[in-house]
Amino acid sequence: MKTFLLADDDWDDKEVFVEALGEIDPSIVCHCVADGQEMIDKLSDGEISNPEIIFLDINMPGMNGWECLVYLKKSELFRDIPVIMYSTSSHRREKELAKEFGATGFFTKPNVFSELKNILAGLAARTPGDIGGLSTYLESL
């Protein structure tokens, strides 16, 4: 069973993300949290086991996606989990920061449901540990 972890403060975006995953593969478990601190707390206390992939929205209240990414990549417990940054923004600097801070990939939140499904289907189809295969579905860093 594959497990994804999504940090996003926008309820509508979370619902669309989970719906897309459900249509792709109903067996994928997707845990959702509202910000980076909640993610770290739930991972640290074992409430959520280390997922196959973490998706981090950049702009969240409290601990934002950048702060969370830096924390995860410095942590011995979490640094090997692939982290995908995603945002409504597609500024080149954000993609550069994602790479600089250790993210595995980046994608701009699609406006079209089918585009999101295509991205997530590609990520869900990869085998665990196939980090190189992620770049096929994401914007280049």
pLDDT at 132: 54
Res 49 pLDDT > 90:
yes
- C-alpha distance from residue 69 to each of 20, 22, 73, 105 (Å): 24, 26, 6, 12
Unique residue bearing structure tokens 């996606």: 65
Please calculate the CA angle 69-70-74 and round it to the nearest 5 degrees: 115
CATH number of the domain to which 48 belongs? 3.40.50.2300
pLDDT at 123: 85
> Which residues are paired to 86 by β-bridges?
57, 107
pLDDT at 46: 95
Domain count, the chain: 1
Q: Can you give the residue range of the structural domain that contains 130?
A: 3-137
* Position with higher pLDDT, 85 vs 139: 85
Res 67 pLDDT > 80:
yes
Return the half-sphere exposure (C-beta side, CA atoms, 13 A cut-off) of residue 73: 17
Lowest mean pLDDT among 4-18, 60-74, 84-98, 100-114: 84-98
pLDDT confidence of 88, banded at 50, 70, 90? confident
